[in-house]
Amino acid sequence: MEERKVLYSAIQPTNNLTIGNLIGAIKNWTNLQNDYDCFFAIANMHAITVRQVPADLRQKTLSMLALYLACGIDPEKCTMYVQSHVPAHAELCWVLNSFTYVGEMERMTQFKDKSARHAENINMGLMDYPVLMAADILLYQTDVVPVGLDQRQHVEIARDIAQRFNNIYTPTFKIPEALYMKVGAKINDLLDPSKKMSKSAENPNGSIFLSDDRDTIIRKFKRAVTDSGSEVKFDPENKAGVSNLLTIYSVFTGKTIAEAEADFAGKGYGDFKLAVGEAVADKLAPIQKEQEKLLADKSYLEGVLRSGAERAAHTANKTLAKVYKKIGFYQL
């Protein structure tokens, strides 16, 4: 049997996830799990680059796993695990640090954004974030990395670091490719459609959280920014708000953008926003219910994480051993 290609992705267990995370990342994963050998991590080591409340981080780690499962990721097919349970991530990160330039890290958009937002805590971890992410990806000899568009620069730098290492020694790492959704690779804030919807946005009314109840979802969509026109038409340049809502509607109903536009021909923005809210609420309800059910069974969740960490470590340690050998670490 031909070996399957490897797919790797992760999400930080910080805050509550938004429909941006669901559409840009998790939905893509569920579609691809049958075609690839998949690894899905819960990136708690990335999470601490911004101050976290320990009890929350612990709780969000488990609820993130429950969400992966509730969204339909199958633990029989995919390896799901917590990043800190596989020490090879920190170990490879340390090696790759010596193959990464400070200047490259200073230029990273996310580093600049987060430094501005957390000016009181611009720590080394924040700066090193992309190197740890490169270690995540490269440990598994990953072919594809399905992420939202905001992660493009990080996948690029992982490729650069891998290539640099391969050139200095001999081919060691597979060079990964980022993979984006055709529709929904960037979902924008409902109140400021020029910004991406973020789980740590200042105003929570611009984001739809996966934990929001039906009334909250509908209320937030009702208040979403549109424009002064009245036509429901996909035109990201001139109608950023409406286009963002159309994208969300299309993803949540499985309709194409053109079909979505047709649904609202001759209708006003009020009807349109209500319909988008209802479509999202309808789809999120069963996921929320399933997640809650799973969270009640802690021993099952821990079992998934235990076997996930074991499988992940097995693959990761093979790559790490190769790296240690090439760079000249004495082996016993």
Minimal CA–CA distance to 83: which of 45, 140, 55, 37? 45
Full DSSP string of 93-139 = HHHHHTTS-HHHHHT-HHHHHHHHHTTT---HHHHHHHHHHHHHHHH
Q: How far is the CB of 186 from ligand ATP (least distance, A)?
A: 5
H or E element at residue 145:
strand 144-146
Nearest distance in Å: CB 287, ligand LTN = 19
Burial 161-187 (b: 16+ CB within 10 A, else e): bbeebeeeeeebbbebebbbbeebbbb
Instruction: Supply 269's token pair.
Output: 């923005």
Measured from the CB atom, is 89 or 220 closer to ligand LTN? 89
Residue 81 CA from chain centroid, whole number: 14
Contact pattern for ligand LTN over residues 91 through 130, marking x by CB under 6 A: ----------------------------------------
Q: Which of 89, 154, 159, 186 binds ligand ATP (CB under 6 A)?
A: 186
Please tell me whether residue 145 binds ligand LTN under the rule CB under 6 A.
Answer: yes
Q: Which does 197 bind (CB under 5 to 8 A by kind): ligand ATP, ligand LTN, none?
A: ligand ATP
Q: Are strands 37-42 and 177-179 parallel, antiparallel or unpaired?
A: unpaired
Q: Is 8 in the site for ligand LTN (CB under 6 A)?
A: yes
Per-residue interface string for the shown chain with ligand ATP, residues 132-151, x marking contact by CB under 6 A: ---------------xx-xx
Q: For ligand ATP, which residue of 6, 7, 8, 14 counts as binding (CB under 6 A)?
A: 14
- Contacts of ligand ATP in 187-216 (CB under 6 A): 187, 196-200
The answer to whether residue 75 forms part of the interface with ligand ATP (CB under 6 A) is no
The DSSP bridge pattern shows strands 6-11 and 78-82 to be: unpaired
- Rounded (10°) CA dihedral 185, 191, 193, 199: -30
The residue (of 8 and 36) whose beta carbon lies closer to ligand LTN is 8
Binding-site size, ligand ATP (CB under 6 A): 22
End-to-end CA separation in angstroms for the chain: 35
Query: What does the binding site for ligand LTN look like in residue numbers (CB under 6 A)?
Result: 8-12, 43, 46, 133, 136-137, 145, 147, 151, 154
